[in-house]
Structure 1
Amino acid sequence: MAAGVHEKTVHYSKPASPFAIIVKKEIGDLVRSWRFIVLLALIALTFLASIYVSLTNIKPGAEPERFLLYLKILTTTDGSLPSFHIFMSFLGAILGIGLGFDAVNSEQQNGTLIRLLAQPIYRDNFLLAKFISPLIVITTLFLSLGLLMIGGGLLITGVMIELVEILRIISFILLTVLYVAFWLSLSIMLSVKFKQATTSALTAIGIWLFFTIFYKIVVNMIVKAFLPDPAFLLQEDILYYNNLILDLLRVSPGQLYADATTVLLMPAVRSLGPLTMEQMAGAIPTPLSFRESVLIVWPQLSGLFAATTVCFALSYYWFMRREIRS
């Protein structure tokens, strides 16, 4: 080799995986869609309104109000407007359904699904990307709202946030993401099952309305029809039937989410069921630790996670067996 001539080392970057490319494309399409912009505006306005009502009803100068102030910002209300975690039991379902009801059937109706799967892309990567992409956007959204709440509360009240508040707020955000993930997984399952996006959307909305409005009515009708008159029951029997009613109501995902958020954001709540006088007499009137609150809501977290997993497993099963060309 001639003097002064040096060999050049060429570095080749590793190509991105098909799954990462699909996720990146889905996130870009999602954040630019009018559907997401409308849902984002609805959640942001609800969040700001709830925080404003909470801050106007909290007096941070008083010493009792300074204790766990940021948890009170998320839960305090004057009755004119529900707190944010109550709103999210409704809006979270709408957000999940709105982002997933046409995830698969719209691709097939537009003719893009058969062209996409003709590439070296696995079906499971495609379906998983349809689920992961909205979750990334949803997680970013709620983390941003949480940071906005903490920053705004710090500027307005001047009260420093405590470590236990950070843990509880992060747990609340993750729980909300899991709740939205259930409805997202359910809507994706329906988008795989039905060929028309309108059918999957109406079915998902119907399921949400049933659990939100009609399920409690059905449970109350069953209780009045089959359970004995409480006037002829002992205290132990009344406690048993009350726990039975609560267990029936917890079939609803909204009830699981409401129970879990109540315990995580309100450390004074010691139980999700009725307590006897003996239990109340022996209880110490102090807030629960973060670990104790998590142990109380662990069944609710497990229930939401299991329901999400079942819906996605059914989506995977039906999609892998589906004839794409039809």
Structure 2
Amino acid sequence: MKRVSLAGLDVSRLGLGCMGMSAYYTGRDSDEAESVRTIRRALDLGVTFLDTAEVYGPYTNEELVGRAIAGRRDEVQLATKFGLVSHFGRGRPDSHPDNIRAAVQGSLRRLGVDHIDLYYQHRVDPAVPIEDVVGVLADLVTAGTIRHIGLSEASAATIRRAHAVHPVTAVQSEYSLWSRDIEAEVVPTLRELGIGLVPYSPLGRGFLTGTIRTTGQLDADDFRLSTPRFSGDNFQANLRIVDEVEAVAREASATPAQVALAWVLAQGDFIAPIPGTKRVTRLEENAAADALALSGEQLARLTAIRPPAGDRYANMTEIGR
């Protein structure tokens, strides 16, 4: 597995998003033992950049990740997030300084580690100036509790304000052939400031794998059913995106998932996507994208795909402040 630098944090070029092992996608096939095997197999393959958050579960995903990496901490670049759980009953989001300090201690305990490599604000909190948030995080860096500061789903303006207080190492945002909103302002800002990009859902929440052809394949409590892109006519219209990805996959003797990941990887050497899975077989498939080189013509065809129908979330007002 190749490596990349996110503003000085050396990580595997492909990471592993662990959310779906404990939340949102669990469904009928949830298997904690298989999830632990998947994390350990990831480390064996050199996929060492692991992503979790206190809100996943809540708390149970950090506990699972902690169990899986026990005895192998030195191999891992560990990322987690705060701000969508209030430890003081304020509701969400909550990035007040006391909540950040409570959150990081809880994450350290559940993960069984003495420091966190990359600590993200999960969503921008309009009630707390970003300068105050980063000030607290900078103190945690000085104390050695965290090594690097990250933001998730922040606007270009917020990123600039945060970076002026203390260097931001990475911004995590949804980015894929399924979601390219950040190309207009956020990506140029990251390039300018030398900040890394960590795309979550680089497989379009599973849509780009080509394995979901009807919404009936999803469990009734799968959160994707509440999102506009997976609803009604939008779902059917968006199958055209999968059709094009599958066409390139046939040419490249690869799977649609590998093609979708290879496109993201081709967008820059400051990018480390974190495709999520809870199965060893899918992990191994995704990891193989590291060796897939698409032609210039293939990349151009994929880039030319029209955006999907429908918003990413039912309520977009909390995204990208």
What's the TM-score bracket when you normalise by the shorter of the two chains?
under 0.3
Task: Point out the structure with max Rg over C-alpha.
Answer: 1
Normalising by structure 1, report the TM-score: 0.23
Normalising by structure 2, report the TM-score: 0.23
Q: Which structure shows the higher strand fraction?
A: 2
